[in-house]
Amino acid sequence: MSLFSVFYPDAEYPSAYGLPYESLYRKGYRGIIYDIDNTLVVHGGPATPEAVRLFARLHKMGFRTILLSNNREARVKPFAEAVGSEYICKAHKPSPEGYYRSMEQMGTDASTTLLVGDQLFTDVWGAKQAGIYSILTTPIHPKEEIQIILKRKLEAVILYFYHRREGKR
């Protein structure tokens, strides 16, 4: 077991828009926790038609969704309203508390909830601490705030070992 394994996602996909949602639903998942920035849209961007269509499709399938963000309500609420999702702002990820609150709001538990996010140190690590299946996506756009750029350099080291373990390198 690697020292870094606490940060390893359970799965990895190029985009939140290409996940096998029907298959995940058949496996018993009922709640999806999403990060917003660089997972669903570019950092700071508004909800796109693609995001609105995705959430409509997920809700029609029977999924409950929640946006879990460290951002302020002024950023998160308009996005949540546009896609028709619940939300929690100022979540203090990677603290597992926001993940527990998310499950409570959705009426799910760790065995029926999954996380979709683009960062290992906030999204994935928080989900793992809460016992939630975590899916890492490739960041949508390389332009990010300086503190995230620094974290990405550390993430690259961890992803190297994760990919080596998974036979991807």
Give the model confidence (pLDDT) of 81-137 as tens digits.
Answer: 999 999 999 999 999 999 999 999 999 999 999 999 999 989 999 999 999 999 999
Across the chain, the runs of DSSP E, i.e. the strands, are 11-13, 31-34, 64-68, 86-88, 113-117, 133-137
Count CB neighbours of 97 within 10 A. Answer: 14
Domain boundaries, position 134 = 8-141
pTM over 0.75: yes
Is 160 contained in some domain? no
Is 128 contained in some domain? yes
Is 167 contained in some domain? no
pLDDT value of position 75: 97
Is 154 contained in some domain? no
Is 156 contained in some domain? no
Distance CA 7, CA 87 (A): 24
Is 52 contained in some domain? yes
Total number of domains in the chain = 1
Residue 30's CATH number: 3.40.50.1000
Distance CA 106, CA 18 (A): 23
144 pLDDT band, cuts 50/70/90, is low
Is 131 contained in some domain? yes
Distance CA 148, CA 156 (A): 12
Is 162 contained in some domain? no
Distance CA 49, CA 141 (A): 17
| Cβ–Cβ < 8 Å for 94, 129 | yes
Distance CA 93, CA 39 (A): 15
H or E segment and range at residue 57: helix 49-61
Indicate the average pLDDT of the chain.
92
Rounding to the nearest 10 degrees, give the CA dihedral for residues 16, 125, 24, 17.
0
